[in-house]
Amino acid sequence: MNISTLNQDSQDLLNSSTVLEDSLNHSQEEESLDLSIVVPVYNEEESLPDLLERIVTSLKETGLRYEIICVDDGSTKDGSAKWLKDKALTHPNLKAVLLRRNYGQ
């Protein structure tokens, strides 16, 4: 794989994704974060609620400013993308990156 292939793959990835975040809870000058957690998602609707609840519960006690970035890699067999969309609209620390197709690793 050469650099032009990597660049094209990166551009394709950017062009085929949707990023959702609750813009009402973010000021123009966001506070700096202490922690970013990236969660890869592919057909994980059943496990997502429990996973995110555990992450949030664990982080509440730390006092850290954090974000959780869930990257849905084109889930098609369940409602992972819809669940993330809905949750990102109501949870200020959750960002959902929804890819239109599966890119794999």
Q: The whole model's pTM is what?
A: 0.71
Write the DSSP assignment of 50-83 as a string of letters. Answer: HHHHHHHHHHHTTT--EEEEEEE----SSSHHHH
User: What number is the average pLDDT over the span 52-74?
Assistant: 93
pLDDT given at position 6: 43
pLDDT band at 93 (very low <50, low <70, confident <90, very high): very high
Is pLDDT of 35 > 50?
yes
